[in-house]
Amino acid sequence: MRAALAHGLARLRRDRTRAVLAAGGIAAASAMVAAAATLVFALSTGFDRTAARAGLPEVTARFAPATVAAVATRVDSLANVRRVAYRFEVTNSAIDADGKFANGTVVGVQRGPRGYAVVSGRDVEHSGQAVVEPGLARAWHLHPGARVTLSGPGRTLTEEIVGTGIAPDSVAYPLTRNPRVYVAIGDARALGGATSAAVNSVLLWVADPSQLPVTLEQARSATFGVSQLSFVTRAGFQQLIGRAAGIVIALLVAFSLVALAAAGIMLAASSSAEVQRRREAIGILRTFGATPGHLAAGYAAEAALVAAPAAAVGIVAGWLAVGGPVRRLLDVLNELMPGAPALAGLLAACWLAVVVLVASATWFPTRGVGRRPVVDSLREADVVATPRRIPLPALVGFGARLALARPFRTAALVAVLAASMAVVLLILTIASVLNGLQQNAQTLGKRYQLVVPASPGAVARARAIPGVALAAERYETDAVDSFDLGETFRFVSYPGDIARFEAPPLSEGRRVRAPGETDVGLGLAQALGLDVGSLLAAQLPSGAEIRFRVVGIVQALRDQGLVAYVQPARLLAAGTALSTDVVITLRPHADLQTVRNAFARSGIATSRSGGIAEDSGFTGSVGRTAFLDVLATLLRSVALLDGLVCVYALAQMLALLARERRRAVAVLRAIGASRAQVLALFAGAALLVAGFATPVGIALEQFVLGPVVGALAVSYVTLSLRAGAPEVGAVVAGVALAIAVTAGWATRTATAGVIVRPLREE
Amino acid sequence: MPAAPRRLYPERVASPVVRVRGVVKSYGRGRGAVRVLDGVDLDVESGELVAIVGRSGSGKSTLLHLLGGLDYADEGTIAVAGERLELLDERGRTALRRRAIGFVFQSFHLLPELSGLENVLLPARLARTGTGAPARARALIDELGLGDTAARLPATLSGGEQQRLAVARALVNEPALILADEPTGNLDEESGAAVLQLLRVVADRGRAVVLVTHDPAAGDVADRTLTVRAGRLHA
């Protein structure tokens, strides 16, 4: 072992360029590992981590205001309950601070468990104090000591902010339109105009979570007389949050797993290639009595010595690259970053895994070479016959042959490059989809181009504008499922054939044809267990109940699929307040701006139909856009790392080629090869790898990654993540650029010194 | 190939293919510097085979590399086929090597991925010398008795066969100067003699040949034998 280690260390000292190259590769792969691991760990455990820190209850029950005594009697009858906390919540309270305003929920809390974690300042101790959620504090720049004014049906209160508190049962403001403020329960009751003993929410912590279904069953049977009761479990909250943000979190987690695999392949290929270069030395050491085990251990130790500092640098770089965006993403989800010890442990585990992987990837092939006949190693018997004819120009073809002389290395590099390209394609496709969701109404199934305010005669006036094909009133209103009042959704209504104005892809059934029919989004169908033929019973804000027969299920992206499309007759008959405007579709080839100008001349303001950014009103759009921006930043960070992996993989292959075949290059130069011809040689080698990797990478994305990640991302819609021509073109152009850059660099390196030096080496 | 009679004097002596004046070459720096060549002068005419001998490390190969433009002299002038090497940049030297110089190495340096014929053709492909190159290469291979080796990879050939292929590769562009660095160093006596005889024939056909060797038999085929001693050439 010592002889091998001494030889390895001597090589390191003598050939520092090679050592730096190897270390650079390990650092790059380690950065990918750290970035992917940080993403996976932070995002996949975010809810549970924050729920544990906040002490989120297993069950949250909400009901119409009742006395504490009446509710406590029923709670006390439950067997499995460990702790209880009562609250009084005031929804739609006006929250006003520092000139900013929002409608939110004021939560009155008592002493005892609170169900949220104070992350800065202190908790509410008595009347006049408030804890705000971090999203609100960030958005409004609120700090402990600031004051917030709360207005409800009972009265208006001004409270001092004493801290910020986080609970993962909702996404953060402004992603959600309703921020939360925690106050003393007496203040909340006063705000809501309730009696001094009133509560309308109870948090339950159970002794045995596995018996939760039994406890819920008991609770339903024990709550006779409590009205408007709904239960939400911790798992239910997790599902709700997942529905809001799951689309891209799933994508990121899936990507990270792919990136981890690619990094592993790259490290293994690199280490294995290094062993191939030592075959002659292995043969010599075996001649003088070294055993395969000694050789493997010695070289593995040397590899570990190189890998340890390089991996440390890479791990830190990877964490720095994604740490900030991940924190921002978790912030908008109301979730906490992992603690420093957990993160340090994770990164240390990554570091150890990289070092062990590098050492193992050296140990196994070294032992394999060491076990072969010594004479094979001395003859460098690994240079194999290569295809005699490659349909490429002479030197390009020769470069390809040089690459094929190391078939396993070439295959490993093809695998790395293909995986990296597939991931980059996927990222570009995701970015394109996100952009479509944010900006393009058609992505959401909208077929109208303009929206104008509703007013008497607005439809007729709109139809008279040149270029307008259709104009109709659109009605929208929130509703809640009548059966358990636990699921809110939105009715969207157009007269006549709804598909003329909004037509998300039909997943099942048919389009609405009659006033008593509805097409529901897949998200709503999943939430309420609706099928074609089911009855959708909904309670409107006015308290009226209306019913529709489900005739179709559509893949609606808006509102996470919690939407029902109906004709307006029953909504209008229910006498509820409806949000109304007029939507406009244009004639084919009509110029949008010309039509808008015509509206403007008629004194009608228009707005364009938008994607998610314009889907939910001003406050919501700001939140969603910020959310998408954070995701885009995160994706860009990951794509950058992945692109660097591609470039590095090619550069490493060519650097190895230049070093291994330096005599061949010198001979070529001696017999008259110009730099351009040497460049053609290296480009040929790179082209061979890229030529195999490109179709494999594209196919991998088209037929495996795209469909699988698309299916993972959301269950309420079929999201196509198959790369289109622009994404494929961009990746192919990137690969071509990488080939040019790396071949140029390798040529420059290989032709930098005088020709005789490699020729003298025997 | 029949053995050609040895000629003591070249037929054409109009202008030397190689003209070296006052060449100095050192390795290392400062006090550790070693002056390997210290004012070398040499002329080699067309059709002349010059053998250069000397102890290991005396500077024989260094001189050969300088003549081929593979390395740079510290002082002095070297002209090959009328071109002053010290005035040429790397691009110019590359062009000169393509046109006027052929190399034969001790370790053959055939590219293992290419067949015998492809190795021989390689300089022609680099120089893009047109459609005549394959026929020329084939003729050379046949003339050297290597017809069976054309399609085989170098690893399957004997040392003698590889070195003859290397000579064919050096000749395929019909250069004015052949530089052979210990061409018999890795061969047995019989194969070495055949390669020396081959170089003699090459010289007899009008090319200048500079042969660096330890082989005493080289003196039998060379027109002149020069010894490198103390950095200079001695007759």
- Residue A242 neighbours by CB distance under 10 Å: 17
Output the furthest CA–CA distance in chain B (Å, rounded). Answer: 54
CATH fold for the domain made of B47-70+94-234 = Rossmann fold (3.40.50)
pLDDT reported for residue A273: 67
- Sequence-separated (6 or more) residues with CB below 8 Å from residue A200: A62, A63, A64, A65, A66, A87, A88, A89, A194
Residue A565's beta-bridge partner residues?
Answer: A492, A519
Q: Does A29 or A377 have the greater pLDDT score?
A: A29
Does residue A189 sit in helix, strand or coil?
helix
Each residue's pLDDT tens digit, A480-508: 877 655 567 889 999 989 888 888 878 88
pLDDT of residue B5 exceeding 50, the answer is: no
Q: Which residues does chain A have within 8 Å of residue B57's beta carbon, measured at their own beta carbons?
A: none
- Among chain B, residues having any CB pair with chain A shorter than 8 Å are 61, 65, 68, 70-72, 90-91, 94-95, 97-99, 102-103, 105, 107, 109, 111-115, 122-123, 125-127, 153, 155, 169-170, 173
Each residue's pLDDT tens digit, B154-202: 888 888 888 889 989 998 888 999 999 988 887 888 888 888 888 899 8
pLDDT reported for residue B9: 36
Does residue B125 sit in helix, strand or coil?
helix
Contact A386, A405 (CB under 8 A): yes
Residue A426: pLDDT band (50, 70, 90) is: confident
| Percent of residues, chain B, with pLDDT higher than 90 | 29
Instruction: Parse chain B into domains and list their residue ranges.
Output: 47-70+94-234
Q: Which residues does chain A have within 8 Å of residue B99's beta carbon, measured at their own beta carbons?
A: 672
- Residue B92 neighbours by CB distance under 10 Å: 14
ipTM of predicted complex: 0.74
The string of DSSP letters for A560-625 reads: GG-EEEE-SHHHHHTT---EEEEEEEEPTT--HHHHHHHHHHTT---EE--SGGGTSHHHHHHHHH
Q: Token pair 């804000």 is at which residue?
A: A541
pLDDT reported for residue A269: 66
pLDDT reported for residue A713: 54
pLDDT of residue A611 exceeding 60, the answer is: no
Each residue's pLDDT tens digit, A551-566: 999 877 677 678 899 9
User: Of the segments A345-359, A420-434, B121-135, which one has the largest average pLDDT value?
Assistant: A345-359
Q: Which two tokens stand for residue A171?
A: 């996404």
Residue A19: pLDDT band (50, 70, 90) is: confident
Each residue's pLDDT tens digit, A49-81: 888 888 888 888 888 888 888 888 888 888 888
Each residue's pLDDT tens digit, A270-309: 676 677 667 777 776 676 667 778 788 888 888 888 889 9
CA distance B126 to chain A (A): 6
Each residue's pLDDT tens digit, A641-669: 677 777 877 887 787 788 778 888 888 88
Give the pLDDT mean for A113-133. 91
pLDDT of residue A245 exceeding 70, the answer is: no
- Answer yes or no: pTM beyond 0.80: no
Is A672 in CB contact (< 8 Å) with chain B? yes
pLDDT reported for residue B84: 93
When CB atoms are compared, the residue of A386, A674, A754 closest to B70 is: A754
Which run of H or E residues covers position B114?
none
pLDDT of residue A758 exceeding 90, the answer is: no
Residue A371: pLDDT band (50, 70, 90) is: confident
